[in-house]
Amino acid sequence: MFNKVLIANRGEIAVRIIRACKELGVQSLAVYSDADKDALHVRLADGAVCIGPAKSTDSYLNVTSIISTMQVADAEAIHPGYGFLAENAAFAEACENCGIQFIGPTSAVMRLMGNKVNAKRVAEEAKVPVLAWSEHAVTDENEALEIACRIGFPVLIKASSGGGGKGMKLVHTKASLIGSFRTARMEALASFGDDEVFIEQYCESPRHVEIQVMADQFGNVIHLGERECSIQRRHQKILEECPSSALDGRLRNRMGDAAVKLAKAIRYTGVGTVEFLLDNNNKFYFMEMNTRVQVEHPVTEMVTGVDIVKEQIKYAARRRLRMKQRSVQMRGHSIECRINAEDPKTFMPSPGTIKELILPGGPGVRVDTGVYQGSVVSPFYDSLVAKLIVHADTRAEAITRMARALDEFHIKGIKTNIPLHQKIMKDHDFIAGNTDINFLSKFS
Ligand code: MV4
C-alpha cells in the first residue's frame, strides 16, 4: 500500500478520500487554496500545503504547484476526486511520466473515453447497445444531412469532447439541420477547443441509469449495480438512488454485464461508471463512461456495503479485486440529496458564512460534507455543501427517512435547496418511482 497520498481536491470529496486513507493506514496530504485555509479537509488530513489563490485555475488546477508539492512532501500517489483534474488525461499522463501513481485508470483509457466518438465506437465493437448514430465524426454538411435523414428526425448533434450534456443540439427538421450543425461545431470549438461532432438518434424522455464498475490491474472486473440519476436540472444531478425503480434483477444483470463487457474491452482499471439511457420500453443504450469516482457513489456503498473509495485506492496500489460478481449483494434502498448553497426559487448560488449548522443523524443517515458551523461557502467553487444520504429496507421507508432527515437539517447563513428536496419527497410521481430526465421541470 502507499505511504502517502496527495488529495488534489477540496470539500466533501477530499474529506471522503482522507477517511478512506485513514482506514487504509495511508497518510493523507491535503492541498488548499487561500480561500480554504480553514476548510475541513485541511483539518482532517495528516498534512496540508497551500497551492495558490482562491481561483481554481491558480490552485486546484495548478499542475506545477501540485506536482512540486508531491515531490517536496514525498507522496507516491495522487487522488483527484471528481471535477478539477479528475478526467484530465494530459494530467494523468504527466503523473505517469513523473513516476507518480494517479489514482484512476491509465491516461490512455481516460483519453479514449474522453472522446465520445471513440467511446461509442468501442462500445459498439464490444456489442454494448448504442443508439443509431453517424458511426464517425461528421465534418461535411451534406453528409450530415444524409446521415440525419437515414437515422430519422429528431436527431441530436453532440460534441465529441462534450459530455455531461454540454454541447448538444436537438434538431427536429431537415430544414434546420445544417444551421444547427454549423452552430454545434462552432460552440464545440469555443467550449472544448475541438469542433468534432457526431449525430445520434434522439431518445425522448429517457431515464439516466448508470452502472458502477470496479476493475483491478489483473483483469478482474465486477459491477455494483445501478444508480438512478434522472432527477437533474441543466445536467446537474440533484438526487440519486440505488437501486432504480425501473430495473428488475434481469435488467440489472443485462446492464451490469454490458458495463463489465465494455470495461474489459478497454482494459479499464480502477472504479468507473458506465452511463446509459433507459427508454420507456426498457431498452438501454450506452452514453458515456466516467473514469472517476462520482459524487453519487455513496448510494451504491450503502446498498452493497462496498467502500468504493478504499477499493479505488487499493487497485491503484496493485491489490487484487477479491470479490466475485455473485457475492455482490444489494440490500435495501438508498437515496442521496445534494444540498446546494443556492436560492431555492432562482437556483442562483448563495455563498456566505454558515452561521448555524445542526446535521441530521440517527438510524440509516449519512452526511458527507466539507463544511462545519462557521465555514465560509466561497463563490469560487461549486455550490455543493453536503450530501445527505439515507438507507432503509424499502424505497418507501427510505423516502420517509429522507423527509425526516431533511426536517432535522438546520442551516443558517446561506440559502439551500432543502425546500426543493422536501417538495420532491412529497411528490406523487417521485413516490411512485415515475422519474425521467424531465421530472424536475415541473418544479421551476
Ligand atoms: C441523449 C438524450 C436523448 N437522446 N442522447 C445529456 C448528458 C449526456 N450524457 C447525454 N445526454 C443526453 N443524451 C440521445 N440520443 C438526452 C440526454 C439528456 C440527459 C441525459 C441524462 C441525464 C439528463 C439529461 C438531460 C437532458 C438530456
Query: How do the pLDDT tens digits run along the chain, 444 residues long?
Result: 999 999 999 999 999 999 999 999 999 999 999 999 999 999 999 999 999 999 999 999 999 999 999 999 999 999 999 999 999 999 999 999 999 999 999 999 999 999 999 999 999 999 999 999 999 999 999 999 999 999 999 999 999 998 777 779 999 999 999 999 999 999 999 999 999 999 999 999 999 999 999 999 999 999 999 999 999 999 999 999 999 999 999 999 999 999 999 999 999 999 999 999 999 999 999 999 999 999 999 999 999 999 999 999 999 999 999 999 999 999 999 999 999 999 988 999 999 999 999 999 999 999 999 999 999 999 999 999 999 999 999 999 999 999 999 999 999 999 999 999 999 999 999 999 999 999 999 987
Q: Which of 117, 134, 168 to mutate for ligand 1's pocket (most ligand atoms within 8 Å of CB)?
A: 168
Class for the domain spanning 132-201:
alpha beta
Q: Is 288's C-beta closer than 6 angstroms to any atom of ligand 1?
A: yes
Please give the distance, rounded to the nearest whole angstrom, from the Cα atom of residue 276 to the centre of ligand 1: 9
Spell out the residues 6+ positions from residue 347 whose beta carbon is closer than 8 angstroms to its own: 233, 417, 444
Q: What is the pLDDT of residue 167?
A: 76
Kindly state if the Cβ of 226 falls inside 6 Å of ligand 1: no
Q: Which residue minimizes the CA distance to atom 11 of ligand 1?
A: 165
Q: From ligand 1's centre to the CA of 182, what distance in Å?
A: 20
Tell the burial category of 145 from Cβ atoms under 10 Å away from its Cβ (0-12, 13-18, 19+).
Answer: middle
Ligand 1 pocket check for 285: Cβ under 6 Å: no
Cis bond before residue 298 (omega within 30° of 0)? no
Does any ligand 1 atom lie closer than 6 A to the CB of residue 164?
Answer: yes
What is the per-residue pLDDT for 345? 85
Residue nearest to atom 17 of ligand 1 (CA): 165
- Ligand 1 centroid distance, CA of 207 (Å): 9
Whether the CB of 203 sits within 6 Å of ligand 1: yes
Q: Which residue's CA is the nearest one to ligand 1's atom 15? A: 202
Q: Is 211 in the pocket of ligand 1 (CB under 6 A)?
A: no
At residue 114, the pLDDT reads 97
Residues in Cβ contact with 163 at an 8 Å cutoff, skipping those fewer than 6 apart: 114, 116, 288
Q: How many angstroms is it from 228 CA to the middle of ligand 1?
A: 14
Which residues are catalytically annotated? 292
Q: Whose CA is nearest to atom 9 of ligand 1?
A: 164
Distance 220 CA to ligand 1 centre (A): 30
Amino acid present at 5? V
Q: What is the pLDDT of residue 63?
A: 96
The CB of 180 under 6 Å from ligand 1? The reply is no
CATH 3.30.470.20 location in the chain: 207-443
Give how far Cα 183 sits from Cα of 159, 170, 191, 202, Å: 11, 12, 12, 18
How many angstroms is it from 335 CA to the middle of ligand 1?
A: 22
- Residue 5 CB less than 6 A away from ligand 1: no
| 200 CB near ligand 1 (under 6 Å) | yes
Task: Report the distance separating Cα 174 and Cα 198, nearest Å.
Answer: 16
Distance 230 CA to ligand 1 centre (A): 10
What is the grid cell recorded at 2? 502507499
Cβ pair 49, 73 in contact under 8 A = yes
pLDDT (tens digit, 9 = 90+) per residue, 221-250? 999 999 999 999 999 999 999 999 999 999
How far, in Å, CA of 388 to CA of 400, rounded? Answer: 14
Predicted pLDDT of residue 223? 99
* Residue 384 in contact with ligand 1 by CB distance below 6 A: no
CA of 253 to the centre of ligand 1 (A): 23
- List the residue whose alpha carbon is closest to atom 12 of ligand 1: 165
| Residue in 199, 203, 228, 438 to alter for ligand 1 test, most ligand atoms within 8 A of Cβ | 203
For residues 396 and 41, what is the distance between their CA atoms, to the nearest angstrom? 34
Pairing of strands 352-353, 270-278: unpaired
Q: Where are the beta strands (DSSP E) in 34-100?
A: 47-52, 77-79
267: DSSP letter? T
pLDDT score, position 166:
74
The one-letter amino acid code at 68 reads S
**What is the rounded CA–CA span in Å between residue 58 and residue 73?**
20
Could you identify the atom of ligand 1 that is nearest to the CA of residue 230? Answer: 22
Decide: residue 156, CB within 10 A, 0-12 exposed, 13-18 middle, 19+ buried: buried
Residue ranges, CATH 3.40.50.20, the chain: 4-103
Residue 281 near residue 209, CB atoms below 8 Å: no
**Best mutation site among 87, 156, 172 for ligand 1 pocket (most ligand atoms within 8 Å of CB):** 156
Residue 57's Cβ-count burial label (10 Å; 0-12, 13-18, 19+) is exposed
Q: Closest residue (by CA) to atom 6 of ligand 1?
A: 165
CA of residue 165 to ligand 1 center, whole Å: 6
**Domain ranges in the chain with CATH number 3.30.1490.20:** 132-201
Grid cell digits, residue 335: 437515496
Q: With respect to CATH, is domain 4-103 assigned 3.40.50.300? A: no
CATH of 207-443, one of 3.30.470.20, 3.30.110.30, 2.60.40.10, 3.40.1160.10: 3.30.470.20
Taking CA atoms only, the protein residue closest to ligand 1 atom 7 is 165
